[in-house]
């Protein structure tokens, strides 16, 4: 059976001068893969007629489906619509339904008067099928030519996402007989990519040809992904289950989570299982751990809050770190993070707490405590464990690494029997 | 004079199944633009021999410079090196200098034994010039063919960035006579894209052909970017200064910052100018405001810290919000955020404070306070101002919007004379 392939084209000068990071493509690729449509290329071009035209021509020749985002706004740099109109040989006509929707948005949602520029958004090529944009004024457009499909959507992420979920994906699924693509992902911590590869090389070499293994280094950890393609769901699931189990067994000592989830989700599951609460006392991570945790829906069930103690006085005033400790050991020390955990447990009346204190750079380092030095502690009422980490990157990456490692440190602490005596 | 064009090719299945967001391309595009190299296309392909080969062939035909990242790791899914070796018709040879560097990294930095897999990383095609990778084991490779340049670098962001800054960009700058590309960016708040376009349409229509204006909607704000290309630096700067000033005058009431900087940088500048300190009391934003602030180097100069009061008890215990207020007005209310600001000013002994409290979704909404309802307050010793916002997106976007609006709300508060009486 034929594999259905797609290309994603993103349009906008801002992508080529690097002013924005393209997050749309990754999201679209995920959605397409989930329904068995393989993505073979992603292309970004500027707001330039010839460049867009060539990209469309090229991708239409190579893929069954071409998804295009961007260039549909009401401003002069947006040229996708007239270009598609010409490419598919139609003429622009006012679409009454779209016009009503635009009017509704201005009337009821934006509560602003409409200007002629907005009305023009209701014009669409007569060669396309209009796709409803529930979240914005620019309609999506579905074209077909020589058995190939091109769908044009706005570049605004939540508008594009709504259209993909509500219209484009269901329509594509109905159109083709699609193969199953299954992915299984685990996150390992504490082992380098090449060592991992060596440990599982026999496993990797024995994989059947329709199953692929990928190594995705991520914040000093490595995600491993098994991907399988096929048409028999039950068979494929059974085979993947078995392969994944083998892999888990071989790597039991280094697997942080064997689901396709971020570290904070693994921690959330542990907390929910125990009906326990967490607080964080963050110095160098500056709230990033709390942000990772609270980005998840339902986090108020297990997260009490955080003190971000950027100034030393805050460590004393709000977390009860004795001034003597700060004087003798310094803010970046085992003694300080241990006290911070105890302070957070008390202030937030939580079951568990994490604390971080370190030097993220670029300034502030010394010979004894160079930039990247971070003390991390985790604890509960039975005790606190602390560890020194050394990162060696730029500020933002150091913050991210410290946060992910702190969550992993808590996870290990929660699984450590010695801090969880049977009552 | 000829415009020097480039293409960026990123390699990796993870980009096509959407498991990672490609941040490398945006960064590379920025660096290239800054030195006057125009980026005409960005292409992502999977770990597939034919797909990579075709992409290289296509981009080499269209651009002077092709930068390739990814596929250079030590694992089996990395095929870029043998492919480039074949494409440029050479043979793989062990490079003694690279081998020494790999040995040094394992000996002194990673402090782990080397395995044969790592040694293979020192093999390079004899048709390339090796680019030193200060931050990792995989060397970069510089190829030339028919007057075109192809540079291959690892996909690990900090490794690629080091090589770009230390070797690739300086080498390219020395090679070509490059035009100047100047960008000027301002961030507007409180006005939609189409209204903005209408207000400045006369300005936009009168722009000379070598100057472009772009609208970049971003978290309910719109960034405006003027870009000019030329060869006479002084002339171009003068012209851009004048155009940008005109634009600033026309939009004075809606400009949040007229630099190419995020909102938190605009706030940081104001705080530093006044030698003032800030604290945040975050409920619904969960530490994201603190994270934005502390991501900036030197933020400890003006940021004291934060209380993230996810649980209501924390609002009372650590921020002194009276229980009576929480009972009568609820946690998401003007009275609560006002008290949170006062509590933060006192607890952190800071000059300014921001507070947020809201319902981010997907659950927790009511008819009176639907999902997306957020109260934001900012204050100093002279008073507190609060405002209700209504966002209507998903949880993560609501958090981001609330955070950006809170920073903008503080910025406006800081510029409001009535809270800053002359002493």
Which ipTM score applies to this complex? Answer: 0.79
Q: Which whole number is the average pLDDT over A386-396?
A: 90
Domain residue ranges in chain A: 5-175, 181-257, 263-419
- To 10 degrees, what angle do helices A80-87 and A49-62 make? 50
The token duo for A246 is 């083998």
Which residues of chain B lie closer than 8 angstroms to A36, CB-CB?
Answer: none
Contact (Cβ atoms closer than 8 angstroms) between residue A232 and residue A415? no
State the Cα–Cα distance between residues B251 and A341, nearest whole angstrom. Answer: 49
Longest dimension (CA), chain B: 79
The answer to whether residue B30 scores a pLDDT higher than 90 is no
Judge: A363–B27 Cβ closer than 8 Å, yes or no: no
Q: Which of A70-79, A319-328, B78-87, B240-249 has the lowest mean pLDDT?
A: A70-79
Run of H or E residues at A221: strand A221-230
Distance from CA of A311 to the nearest CA of B (A): 5
Which residues of chain A lie closer than 8 angstroms to B354, CB-CB?
Answer: none
Phi/psi at B207 (5° precision) = -65, 140
Which residues of chain B lie closer than 8 angstroms to A261, CB-CB?
Answer: none
Nearest CB neighbour to B363, from listed A19, A280, A297 = A297
In angstroms, the Cα distances linking B271 to A287, A416, B287 are 20, 45, 20
Judge: B193–A311 Cβ closer than 8 Å, yes or no: no
Give the class (CATH, top level) of B263-419.
Answer: alpha beta
Nearest CB neighbour to A310, from listed B212, B304, B363 = B304
Pairing of strands B180-189, A65-69: unpaired
Nearest CB neighbour to B291, from listed A286, A349, A362 = A286
Which residues of chain A lie closer than 8 angstroms to B298, CB-CB?
Answer: 363
The CATH T-level fold of domain B180-257 is Alpha-Beta Plaits (3.30.70)
Specify whether domain B5-175 bears CATH 3.40.50.2000: no
The Cβ of residue B211 has, within 10 Å, a number of other Cβ atoms equal to: 19
Q: What is the pLDDT of residues B43-63, one digit of tens each?
A: 999 989 999 999 999 999 999
Question: pLDDT higher for A269 or B179?
Answer: A269
Q: Indicate the average pLDDT of chain B.
A: 92
State the Cα–Cα distance between residues A122 and A137, nearest whole angstrom. Answer: 8
| Chain B residue closest in CA terms to A196 | B75
Q: What is the pLDDT of residues B309-361, one digit of tens each?
A: 999 999 999 999 999 999 999 999 999 999 999 999 999 999 999 999 999 98
In angstroms, the Cα distances linking A203 to A206, A316, B150 are 5, 53, 35
Which residues of chain B lie closer than 8 angstroms to A204, CB-CB?
Answer: 76
Judge: A290–B286 Cβ closer than 8 Å, yes or no: yes
Q: How many A×B Cβ pairs under 8 Å?
A: 312
State the Cα–Cα distance between residues B174 and B401, nearest whole angstrom. Answer: 43
The answer to whether residue A287 scores a pLDDT higher than 90 is yes
Q: What is the pLDDT of residues B65-78, one digit of tens each?
A: 999 998 887 666 67
| Chain A residue closest in CA terms to B303 | A310
Which residues of chain A lie closer than 8 angstroms to B218, CB-CB?
Answer: 20
Confirm whether B5-175 and B263-419 share one CATH topology. Answer: no
What does the pLDDT read at residue B423? 56
Judge: A16–B42 Cβ closer than 8 Å, yes or no: yes
Q: Which of A161-165, A321-325, B13-17, B57-61 has the lowest mean pLDDT?
A: B13-17
CATH number of A181-257: 3.30.70.2860
- Please tell me whether residue A327 adopts helix, strand or coil conformation: helix
What does the pLDDT read at residue A107? 85
Contact (Cβ atoms closer than 8 angstroms) between residue B419 and residue B274? no
Contact (Cβ atoms closer than 8 angstroms) between residue A7 and residue A40? yes
Distance from CA of A419 to the nearest CA of B (A): 25
Question: pLDDT higher for A287 or A215?
Answer: A287
The answer to whether residue A179 scores a pLDDT higher than 80 is yes
Which residues of chain A lie closer than 8 angstroms to B300, CB-CB?
Answer: 310-311
């Amino acid at each position: 059976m034929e594999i259905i392939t797609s290309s994603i084209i993103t349009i906008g000068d801002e992508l080529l001068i690097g002013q924005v990071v393209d997050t749309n493509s990754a999201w679209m690729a995920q959605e397409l893969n989930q329904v068995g449509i393989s993505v073979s290329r992603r292309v970004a071009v500027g707001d330039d007629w010839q460049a867009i035209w060539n990209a469309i021509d090229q991708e239409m020749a190579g893929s069954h489906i071409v998804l295009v985002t961007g260039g549909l706004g009401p401003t002069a740099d947006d040229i996708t619509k007239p270009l598609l109109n010409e490419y598919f040989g139609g003429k622009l006509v006012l679409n009454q339904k779209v016009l009503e929707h635009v009017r509704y948005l201005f009337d009821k949602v934006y509560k602003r008067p409409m200007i002629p520029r907005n009305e023009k958004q209701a014009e669409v090529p007569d060669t396309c099928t209009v796709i409803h944009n529930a979240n914005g004024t620019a309609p999506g457009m579905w074209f077909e030519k020589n058995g190939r499909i091109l769908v044009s959507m706005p570049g605004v992420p939540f508008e594009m996402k709504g259209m993909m979920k509500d219209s484009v994906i269901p329509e594509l699924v109905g159109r083709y007989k699609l193969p199953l693509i299954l992915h299984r992902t685990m996150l390992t911590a504490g082992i380098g990519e090449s060592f991992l590869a060596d440990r599982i090389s026999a496993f990797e070499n024995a994989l059947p040809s329709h199953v692929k293994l990928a190594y995705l280094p991520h914040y000093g950890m490595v995600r491993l992904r098994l991907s399988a393609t096929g048409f028999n769901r039950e068979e494929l699931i059974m085979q993947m289950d078995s392969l994944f189990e083998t892999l888990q067994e071989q790597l039991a000592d280094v697997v942080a989570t064997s689901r396709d989830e971020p570290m904070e989700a693994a921690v959330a599951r542990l907390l929910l299982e125990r009906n326990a609460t967490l607080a964080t006392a963050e110095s160098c991570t500056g709230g990033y751990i709390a942000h990772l945790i609270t980005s998840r829906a339902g986090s108020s069930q297990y997260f009490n809050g955080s003190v971000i103690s950027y100034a030393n006085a805050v460590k004393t005033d709000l977390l009860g770190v004795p001034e003597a400790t700060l004087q003798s050991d310094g803010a970046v020390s085992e003694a300080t993070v241990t006290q911070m955990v105890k302070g957070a447990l008390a202030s937030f009346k939580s079951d568990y707490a994490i604390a971080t204190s370190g030097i993220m750079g670029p300034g502030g380092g010394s010979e004894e405590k160079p930039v990247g030095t971070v003390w991390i502690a985790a604890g509960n009422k039975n005790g606190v464990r602390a560890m020194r980490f050394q990162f060696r990157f730029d500020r933002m990456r150091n913050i991210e690494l410290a946060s992910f490692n702190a969550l992993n440190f808590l996870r290990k602490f929660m699984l450590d029997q010695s801090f969880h005596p049977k009552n």
